[in-house]
Amino acid sequence: MDLTYEIYVGAKPEEVWQVLIADEAVKQTMFGCTIRSTFQVGDDYAYVGPGNDGDETVHVYGKILAFEPSRVMSYTEHAGPSYRENHEELETRVTMELEPVGACTKLTLVNDLWPDDHPSYENTKKSWPMILSNIKTFAETGKTLDLGW
């Protein structure tokens, strides 16, 4: 049930990293959300932005598991409270690794540790390719894809 994606981005790992953590880039590539975190291992994070609960909707939240700038970020992931009543029970793990390949970056995303019958699995399976494509496009061009968000 693990979801694994590999993409190659025409940008350096440091540039791709900024797309993953810098407020304006995150806002552009993640449905208008910002990421709130100290990025310290063990600390909380949340993607917060427009949604079911207004401009301060928590879409996804969890704990930082690993954080090595321009190399790896891993975290637990829960859907926000407005999405699932049992959101605290529905934990997965996301790991993003960046590797330099020539003048490019290989971005590998693994979303694993899915509980049986997780209600968001199929939607997440479809969403990651769109999100990763948006990250790639933004890192390469400074623009996002028009995905109808």
Each residue of 87-129: pLDDT tens digit?
A: 999 999 999 999 999 999 999 999 999 999 899 999 999 999 9
Q: What is the pTM of this model?
A: 0.94
Mean pLDDT of successive 10-residue segments in the chain (149 residues)?
97 98 93 94 96 89 98 96 90 98 98 94 95 97 87
What is the model's pLDDT at position 31? 84
Q: Side chain identity at 30, as an amino acid letter?
A: M
Range 115-133 burial, b when 16+ CB lie within 10 A, else e: eeebebbeebeeebeebbb
For residue 21, being part of any structural domain is answered with: yes
What is the model's pLDDT at position 149? 65
What is the model's pLDDT at position 148? 77
For residue 148, being part of any structural domain is answered with: no
Domain count, the chain: 1
What DSSP element (H or E) covers 124? Answer: helix 121-141
Q: Which domain holds residue 28?
A: 3-141
What is the model's pLDDT at position 3? 98
C-beta separation of 45 from 62 below 8 A: yes
For residue 146, being part of any structural domain is answered with: no
- Residue 29 sits in a domain whose CATH number is 3.30.530.20
List, in order, residues 6 or more apart from 6 with CB less than 8 Å away.
Answer: 106, 107, 108, 109
